[in-house]
Amino acid sequence: MVSQRGGGKKINVEGTHVGYFPQRERGWLLEGISATADLAAAVSGAELLILAVPSNFLEGFLERLRPCLDQSSVPILSLVKGLRVGKGVPETTSAVVRGALRGWKGPTLALGGGNIYSEMMQEDSFAEATIAYEGGSESGRAAASRFQTLLNSPRMHTTVRDDLVGVELAGALKNVVSLACGFAKGLEMGANTQAAVLRAGLREMPRFARACGLPVRPETFSLEAAGVGDLFLTCSVGRGQRLAAAFVQGGPVASPDDAVSRWARLESEFLGGMKIPDWHNARAAYESLRRVGCTECCPLLTAVHTIGFVGSAG
C-alpha cells in the first residue's frame, strides 16, 4: 500500500518505486505485487499482513485500519521500531496495535534484524532477521511459521523466537544507542569510543527491560539478528547515527524545543522526507526510566537524552 494519491498507479505502471530505488530498472517488481492507496482493498481477503509504516504515523494509520479488520483474525507482522510511554510502562508497537485495533482478534508478531533495504535489492546480497511471537500463543506460533515460510529464501534467513517484547524492545533501543554512536562520531572521538558505546548499549538493553518490568529473554539482545546484529549495523551505517553526528556538531541545544526543531530540520535535510524513530525513541526511553526512578541504571540511554534534548538548558 502507498500513501500518495496516484502513487500506486505510477508504481504499477513502472514496476518500481523510483523515489526509493532510482538505480533499479523498471519492471523488477515480482509478478503479482501491486500498489494501491485504497487501504480497504489492500487488506481485503488477506491471509497475512505486514505492517511497515513510519513510527510517528502509526496511530493515525491504525485508526484507518481498524474498521477494515473488525472481527478479523488475520496475523500482523510488524516492522515498526517505535517506543511509546504508556501508563507506567513503555509500550512497544504490538501493545499500540492491540490497543488501537478494537475488534481485531489476530496475533501480533514482530520482525527485526540488521538489514539495509537498498542492499537487499542486490542480486548477491544476504540478510537475516528474527520473527517473534508472544510466548504461549499457539496462534502466534503458527503465524510465525507461516511468515517464516513466506520470507525465507536463498538470500534471506529468518529464525523464530517466542520473545515478542524482547525483539520489539531491541529494535527500539538500538536506535537510541545509534544516536550515542553518532554523537561520538560527530565529536571525532574515534572508533574505540564508538565500540565502547555499542558494548554499553548492548548491556543496557536488557537492563532497561528489567527496570521497566517488561518480560524479555536476555539472549534475544546478545545472540539474535534482531538484537546484536541490528545494533551493530545501525550503529555503523544507520541513518540515526549520521543524523546524530550532524546534530552534535551544532553545539549544545538551548532548550527542549530547540532540540526538537534541530532534529526535525536535520531529518528533513538529510533524509529527503523520510522519518525515523530514533530521536523519538530516545525521549520515550528516558521518560520510561524516569517514571520508574531508574535513570541511573542506564547511564548511556540517559546521556543520549541529556545531549539530545537538554543540552545547556540542564
The H-assigned helical ranges of 52-190 are 58-65, 93-100, 117-120, 138-151, 164-186
Q: Are the C-beta atoms of 133 and 107 separated by less than 8 Å?
A: yes
Catalytic residue among 9, 10, 81, 174: 174
Distance CA 115, CA 58 (A): 21
Q: Are the C-beta atoms of 31 and 21 separated by less than 8 Å?
A: no
If you count them, how many residues does the chain have? 314
Sheet with 127-132: strands ordered across: 49-51, 76-78, 108-112, 127-132, 156-161
Q: Which residues pair with 158 in a beta bridge?
A: 129
Residues 125-156 as b or e (16 or more Cβ within 10 Å = b): eebbbbbbbbeebeebbebbeebeeebeeeee
- Provide the pairing of β-strand 127-132 with 108-112: antiparallel
Q: Is 20 helix (H, G, I), strand (E, B) or coil?
A: coil
What are the φ/ψ torsions at residue 309 (nearest 5 degrees)?
A: -140, -15
Straight-line distance from the first to the last Cα atom of the chain, in angstroms, rounded to the nearest whole number: 43
The x, y and z cell numbers of residue 56, run together, are: 510517528
User: Which one-letter amino acid corresponds to residue 303?
Assistant: A
Q: Name the CA dihedral angle for 285, 231, 255, 310, rounded to a multiple of 10 degrees.
A: 70
174 is catalytic: yes
Residue with cell 545509534: 178
Q: What residues act catalytically?
A: 174
